[in-house]
Amino acid sequence: MEKIFFTVLFYTLVLTLYSCTNTEHSNSKTVDHKMSAQPDPLPDSLFPFQNISSSLLVNSFKWDSDGNCYYQDSVKKIRFIALDSSQKRKYISSIGILSPEWIMNDWQVDFVARQDRIGQFRPVVVWAGGTDYGALILILLDGGLHPVSYFVLNGGECGDVPAYCDLKHSFLDKDVIRSYVVKRVWKKSSYSGYVDSINYLTKIFPDGHLVTTRIDSARYKSAISEE
């Protein structure tokens, strides 16, 4: 009887130690997994829009007295989230669009849309605004979220008279962008000029490069007043 008692006691201790060891190992793996998981630096929550098809949504952009940018139509009002200084430096000033000093010290940049992936690249759309500048910009990010190329979908650098600035809109279909640009050339001496309407097609290639081809164009005479 005593032998049976010690045998049962021995196996009970072995099973208890095995159970504790497995529990500690399981907990250790769970902790290691949580420690290794890194948050997405560009989560969906930053982007009010997903996969936009055109730049025409800028027609519904509004600004409040504090300079905050909103999207507002008859159904909804959405406030955009601005990039902080480190995000502006990484995603905007480094792409070579214009002077990094001008971008960092003058521009406000807001997250607008996350686009569907194109191969290994993650396209994002931002709105950038500053002195004599306003544009909707598509930026192509690689797997490490480093910008490799960009495309101005709407707007750009402009002077003090917005009425005479170029008009540009773009339409997106996966790795193809179709754009039209309306250029107004004003001859101040005669208060007349002409309008060029130009269509472009831009292809995004698997290596991240963008190639733009001029498709067609037309020119119209126009009477332009100083107002």
Give the helix ranges, DSSP H, for 58-158: 85-91, 100-106
- Residue by residue, pLDDT tens for the chain (227 residues) are 554 444 444 444 444 544 554 544 444 444 444 444 678 889 999 999 999 999 999 999 999 988 899 999 888 899 999 999 999 999 988 887 888 888 899 899 999 999 999 999 999 999 998 888 899 999 999 999 999 999 999 998 886 665 667 899 999 999 999 999 998 777 766 667 788 899 999 999 999 999 999 999 888 777 655 54
Residue ranges of the domains in the chain?
A: 44-172
Identify the bridge partners of residue 118 per DSSP, sorted by sequence position.
121
Q: What pLDDT does 127 receive? A: 95
DSSP reduced 3-state for 95: helix
Residues 6 or more apart in contact with residue 74 via CB below 8 angstroms: none
Contact 55, 152 (CB under 8 A): no
Q: How confident is the model over 174-193, as pLDDT tens digits?
A: 999 999 999 877 776 666 77
Q: Which residues, listed in sequence order, are joined to residue 197 by a DSSP beta bridge?
A: 182, 218
Give the separation between CA 211 and CA 5, rounded to whole angstroms: 83
Report long-range pairs for 83-89 (Cβ below 8 Å, ≥24 apart): 83/109, 83/110, 83/111, 83/126
CA distance 59 to 131: 19
Phi-psi region of 156 (alpha: psi -120 to 50; beta: other; left: phi over 0): left
Percentages helix, strand, coil for the chain, rounded to the nearest 5? Answer: 30, 45, 30
CB contact at 8 A, 196 and 183:
yes
The enclosing H or E element of 60 equals none
